Structure 1
Amino acid sequence: METVEKKAHNHEEKHDHNHEKGHKHDHSQNHNHDGHNHGDSKSPVILFFIGLAAFGLALLIKEKNVMQSALFVGAMVSSGYHIIGEGIGDTIKNTIKNKRFSPNVHLLMTLAAIGAAIIGNFEEGALLIIIFAGAHFLEEYAEGRSKREITNLLKMNPTEARLIQPDGSTKTVDVSTLKIGDKLQVLNGDQIATDGVILSGMTSIDESSINGESIPREKTVGDNVFGSTINGSGVITMEVTKDSSDTVFAKIIQLVNQSQSNLSKTATKIQRIEPYYVTLVLVLVPIFIILAPTLFNWTWNQSFYRGMVFLISASPCALAASAIPATLSAISNLAKRGVLFKGGSYLSNLAEIKAVAFDKTGTLTKGKPSVTDFYFEMAEATDSEQGYMDIIVAMEKTANHPLANAILGKFNAENMLNIEVENKIGTGLIAEYEGATYQIGKPEIFENVDQSIQQHNQEYSNEGKTVVYFAKNKQVLGLIAMMDVPNENAIEVIRYLKSQNIHTTMITGDAELTGQAVGRIIGIDEVVGNVLPENKTQIVKEQQSRYGMTAMLGDGVNDAPALVTADIGVAMGDGTDIAIDVADAVLMKNDLTKFSYAHKTAKRLDQVVWQNIIFSMLIVATLVFLNSIGKMDITLGVLIHEGSTLLVILNGLRLLIPTKK
């Protein structure tokens, strides 16, 4: 199997036009969630286990001697190699960058281990380092370091076009060679190579990759067409109006790439308090050592010993375990129920969302039209509704179109008729049967329509439904209304989000009227229609500005930029590969109720993490107090620390239990 990098490289060699005009896509970036670059990520892990082995060997030596101490020191240095490096190196780097002292917990752990070694307690120092290093690796595993690749998106970019030559013949050329003004031929089923305008011909075009609409749009002379969309059954000629790097689809790629370049991990609760906690401890330890002889009448040796106990007592073993086991448990809980999160921070941040933006088609709706209403008038006494249905089914069976599939899913024929049907672009389906001409098509192509039919058409259109007429000998006898109906779980999920005071918005490429109709059914707060991909991103940014932390749910290529821009991007499991690639979480089986379940679980996680933080800090405060009155030694301090760490981990494991719905 090719690696992602190799596939991306191969694609770039073949289609270097995608990298013109500043649109070069860098696949080499590694957006490491913890902000640290370890180089070869395997080396610290190998050194950790070498140190763990050294620690185990030291414990087998029953009497304290030089060999045992050397093994403990070796365990400390080997297991804590990257902890020590990050503790000292990142403190220096961040201090220079921020122009103020910016220590981290790694530095505190390094000093605590050195302090333990200075007073001869090598075992405790090594134990502290091993526990913290192990937790650190566990966090890296939980976060996943998943790269947001756009390789699949690039593969969807058109690569070839049929260029019309001066003599009228066509030549297949690379899209990168096209110039504005070139004329192209687009056969049925072809991918449209670039943005342009139709010069001749009529067709229907699947534009779902651009606007997310499930129903193809009919196009004729003068209409705009977009690169990457799929031509239907007609043949057209078009004129190129944009360079391949300036098309709507190219803008989608550019937006995703720019967003990826500026990714930043929202700090977890512990990371936010870390600098303050470490700075406080580093300030208090020397003050404690200096003042203790005066306050407690200790000798300088006693004061230094108690200072080291203080440093070790304040080491954040339980604090370090406050979030990771709980987050892993919550992620496991959700994974078993079809919700996959790509990092613990995304799940943690889900509890804090203030707004959710939904793509309509395929997310809030089923993604394909269904017949919602129909109305017939009998032309003759011998006509019947079932007779009309038999004819309609026979005609629609010849069409390969989402609307035809919707009609066939609703109507059942009692008599299987064998009718010759002609499919004319812009006219619809036409058939001859028993001396009469039957037609199914858009309302715009019919004249002299009865008032009752027009009233029904107006009623259904106002509800955002797509209407087709059924006519006999050019007399309209009925109409069929279709709509991409709401996902059966959408109403329940929107109701839950409202109960949590979370603002909900539906973003759709469909007409405003269609969006409003779906919005009314599911009870959503806000509907924004007629939206192109670049506007989706802007709408998400506006939501972030107005409400705060914002989640985005979508399933299509057109949703990718918005999914990346949102604080938390959630893809539907049946969606496109690129939507799943760039999202922070995936709802398998397109089950929207999993999103509300994930939010409830995230809120539980938030509560558990804060419980753990408060408990671990209370333990630290208790140990420091007992140490200050001479009632604490290193061994007891480490034991209480490890006991509190165990309790914190067990509390986190409660998140493996299913969340109440």
Structure 2
Amino acid sequence: MEAHARVNEPEGSGSAFLQKIMPHLELIAAAISGILIVAGWLLSKSGLEPASITAYLSAFVIGGFAKAKEGIEATIEDKELNVEMLMVFAAIGSAIIGYWAEGAILIFIFAVSGALETYTMNKSHKEISSLMELQPEEALLLTASGEQRVAVSELAVGDAILVKPGERIPADGLIKKGESSIDQSAITGESVPIEKGLREEVFAGTVNLTGSITIEVTKASDETLFHKIIELVQSAQSEKSPSQLFIERFEGTYVKIVLTVVALMMFVPHYALGWGWQESFYRAMILLVVASPCALVASIMPATLSAISNGARNGILVKGGVHLENLSHLNAIAFDKTGTLTKGKPEVTEFILADGFSRSELLWKAASIENQSNHPLAKAIVSFAKEHFQEDMIQPDKIEDMPGWGIAAEIAGESWKIGKASFIGREEAEAVAGEHATRLAAEGNTLVFMSVNGVPAGMLALKDVVRERAMAAIGDLAKEGVYTVMLTGDSQTTAKAIAAESGVDEYFAECLPEEKVDRLKGLMERFSTVAMVGDGINDAPALATANVGIAMGEGTDVALETADIVLMKNDLPKIANAIRLSRRMNRIIKQNVVFSILVIMVLIASNFLQLLDLPYGVIGHEGSTILVILNSLRLLKS
């Protein structure tokens, strides 16, 4: 057995290596092609012409195989020639008239662009698997004979399932028994868990935090809200961008025109103008070379890569040139609230103390009690207390978690209650906070009350606060003429307060993922080009639906994989910087495209007038390519 295992080990490691490099094969082939071109040029300079041609021919085959295969297959399937085939013909044409290097360089440029496109496509599928990992595979089904572990796919509407504290809820349903705090951030993005009890709805993929609950299944596994999120991401990513559709429509016409003119030039000048057959073929091959879209490709790709490199250096990661291009046309931008405009974690904003109590002692004991809980509000209280004193916390003598209400505890001989106003008593709560409670609640705060031995002692107000640079970011976007909107799963009260504080132009509250997508589509009808900024799983469908999806760098893997642009340092003002970079890139691309087209037109006209010899045609064609690349490299400067 040991010998057998050792024999199989290299095979397994080899297979793993192949799986690792498979997504990068086109890029590796393009790099090898580039190396062979350099080798061919050096061999040519050394007078080793046969070896040089062999190197160039190898560059043709290795660099052009993937795109040639793609072009041939697409031509057979669509019954129409495409740009891939034109590039192959142009490279072959240049080789026929003895210009191997130019043909090889043409193939190399096209191979690099194809490799980058393939790599981006492979990356775009990862968020689906990331989403699926959050869907529980099994559920604890309650039957007449007891508890039974079953696959989630086997659950039927009406089944009763038990979900224990710390477990993810496996299906959409209604609570039949028990009450608990539910972390719905995967669905609504809301940072503060929701207290839920009998007959209240819960969603698959959310987390049961505190108490055991029995749920009646109301939807099949393929109809849950979580499953719909996955479908929305898949649907949005399958839609082609306007630029892609335009290119697909344009390329067939372009290829037909060029090949038709080249074919005509092989014969018509011979009969109409009296050219010799050699001259006609020579001019046709020059036309095929100078009319190839090499300069046009170079007009866009180097500019795009330079802009993307510039952005990456400044903490803005862009997953493709089309997304950066779309950013320049942005008219409106929608922000998720939790973790995007806000920090994503509740913080204590105010501490109100009742008469007769010591501020430091009350806070110290309250934090000692809350230190026993993993609830986000409890963690915020402990963090707040640690900022004000360095003493070690003490262990409560007795503690009881009351799901949906708060915590009851005995500490240092005192009987404590920490939780909702109704938990310590409405009148007692009013005696502590008075009008402050109404004001703080209106500002989007969650209120936590404390009583000691039945006497109201104090109140803590907690809120997911707006990021310090969020308001600056909204102001920068306003200067760029971009309309700002906030989409959130939070209540109207919280949403209104955060919207006013951050300065957005409009907000929509209580949005589930489906509603966020619907709101976003409505914005796209009003403003044409719209971006979405988010960080959570619940944002993934909206990020995929928007013309440009922008994720916060500290967000979930799903949001990062789904988004088109990632802000690595959660620095919202970088969005305005990205818009300015995009507009600068588009200006340079337009300059390059206009210049390269003019050069091609001049070269084609000169060729028809027999004023252009092949060496000058190559100089003009490749020279224009070098100039547009140098112009594009200006984007590397900040």
1:511·1:530 contact (CA, 8 Å) conserved in 2?
yes
Letter in 1 for 2:380: A
d(CA) in 1 for partners of 2:496, 2:361: 35
What SS is found at the alignment partner of 1:570? strand
Match of 1:603 in 2: 583
Letter in 2 for 1:237: T
Which of residues 497, 512, 536 in structure 2 aligns to 1:556? 536
Residue 635 (structure 1) shift: 0.4
Residue 230 (structure 1) shift: 1.4
For the pair 1:122 / 2:102, whether they are aligned, the reply is: no
Distance verdict in 2 for CA 1:435–1:607, change over 3 Å: same
d(CA) in 1 for partners of 2:225, 2:52: 67
Residue 349 (structure 1) shift: 2.3
1:61·1:68 contact (CA, 8 Å) conserved in 2?
no
What SS is found at the alignment partner of 1:655? helix
Distance verdict in 2 for CA 1:298–1:152, change over 3 Å: closer
For the pair 1:448 / 2:427, whether they are aligned, the reply is: yes
Distance verdict in 2 for CA 1:527–1:129, change over 3 Å: same
Deviation per CA, 1:491-524, whole angstroms, max 9, x where unpaired? 1222222222222221111112211211111111
Letter in 2 for 1:347: L
Task: Give structure 2 stretches of 5+ with no counterpart.
Answer: 1-11, 13-22
Deviation per CA, 1:564-592, whole angstroms, max 9, x where unpaired? 22222222222222222222232223232
Match of 1:486 in 2: 466
Residue 93 (structure 1) shift: 5.2
Match of 2:140 in 1: 162
d(CA) in 2 for partners of 1:114, 1:161: 62
For the pair 1:223 / 2:200, whether they are aligned, the reply is: yes
2:499·2:507 contact (CA, 8 Å) conserved in 1?
yes
Distance verdict in 2 for CA 1:365–1:72, change over 3 Å: closer
Letter in 2 for 1:423: D
What SS is found at the alignment partner of 1:189? coil
For the pair 1:407 / 2:381, whether they are aligned, the reply is: yes
Match of 2:222 in 1: 245
Residue 484 (structure 1) shift: 0.6
Residues 224-233 or 143-152, more deviating: 143-152
Distance verdict in 2 for CA 1:588–1:53, change over 3 Å: closer
Task: List aligned pairs for 1:443-482, cutoff 5 A.
Answer: 443-445=421-423, 446-449=425-428, 450=430, 453-482=433-462
What SS is found at the alignment partner of 1:194? coil
For the pair 1:59 / 2:44, whether they are aligned, the reply is: yes
d(CA) in 2 for partners of 1:85, 1:226: 47
- Over the matched positions of the two proteins, sequence identity in percent amounts to 40
Match of 2:566 in 1: 586
d(CA) in 1 for partners of 2:569, 2:28: 39
Distance verdict in 2 for CA 1:138–1:438, change over 3 Å: same
2:141·2:159 contact (CA, 8 Å) conserved in 1?
yes
Letter in 2 for 1:327: T
Residue 651 (structure 1) shift: 1.6
Deviation per CA, 1:345-382, whole angstroms, max 9, x where unpaired? 2222222222222211111111101112233331x4xx
1:52·1:75 contact (CA, 8 Å) conserved in 2?
yes
d(CA) in 1 for partners of 2:504, 2:378: 30
What SS is found at the alignment partner of 1:485? strand
What SS is found at the alignment partner of 2:465? coil
d(CA) in 2 for partners of 1:215, 1:466: 9
1:260·1:564 contact (CA, 8 Å) conserved in 2?
yes
Distance verdict in 2 for CA 1:237–1:307, change over 3 Å: closer
Task: List aligned pairs for 1:251-266, cutoff 5 A.
Answer: 251-262=228-239, 266=243
What SS is found at the alignment partner of 1:366? strand
Higher-helix-fraction structure: 2
1:51·1:78 contact (CA, 8 Å) conserved in 2?
no
Task: List aligned pairs for 1:112-511, cutoff 5 A.
Answer: 112-113=90-91, 116=94, 121-123=97-99, 126-143=100-117, 144=119, 145=121, 146-149=123-126, 150-166=128-144, 169-262=146-239, 266-267=243-244, 274=251, 278=255, 281=258, 302=279, 305-378=282-355, 380=356, 383-411=357-385, 412-413=388-389, 419-420=396-397, 421-432=399-410, 437-445=415-423, 446-449=425-428, 450=430, 453-511=433-491
Letter in 2 for 1:337: N
2:169·2:205 contact (CA, 8 Å) conserved in 1?
yes
Q: TM-score, normalised by structure 1?
A: 0.81
d(CA) in 2 for partners of 1:104, 1:229: 48
Distance verdict in 2 for CA 1:374–1:642, change over 3 Å: same
Letter in 1 for 2:151: D
d(CA) in 2 for partners of 1:289, 1:255: 53
Distance verdict in 2 for CA 1:409–1:247, change over 3 Å: same
Kindly report the root-mean-square deviation, in angstroms, between the aligned alpha carbons of the 2 structures: 3.7
Q: TM-score, normalised by structure 2?
A: 0.83
Residue 477 (structure 1) shift: 4.5
Residue 121 (structure 1) shift: 2.4
Residue 597 (structure 1) shift: 2.7
Task: Give structure 1 stretches of 5+ with no counterpart.
Answer: 1-5, 7-31, 33-37, 97-101
Deviation per CA, 1:40-75, whole angstroms, max 9, x where unpaired? 85897599579848955983685999x998987787
Which of residues 502, 505, 530 in structure 2 aligns to 1:522? 502
d(CA) in 1 for partners of 2:179, 2:585: 56
Residues 389-398 or 275-284, more deviating: 275-284
Residue 223 (structure 1) shift: 1.6
1:69·1:122 contact (CA, 8 Å) conserved in 2?
no
Letter in 2 for 1:152: S
- How many residues matched? 608
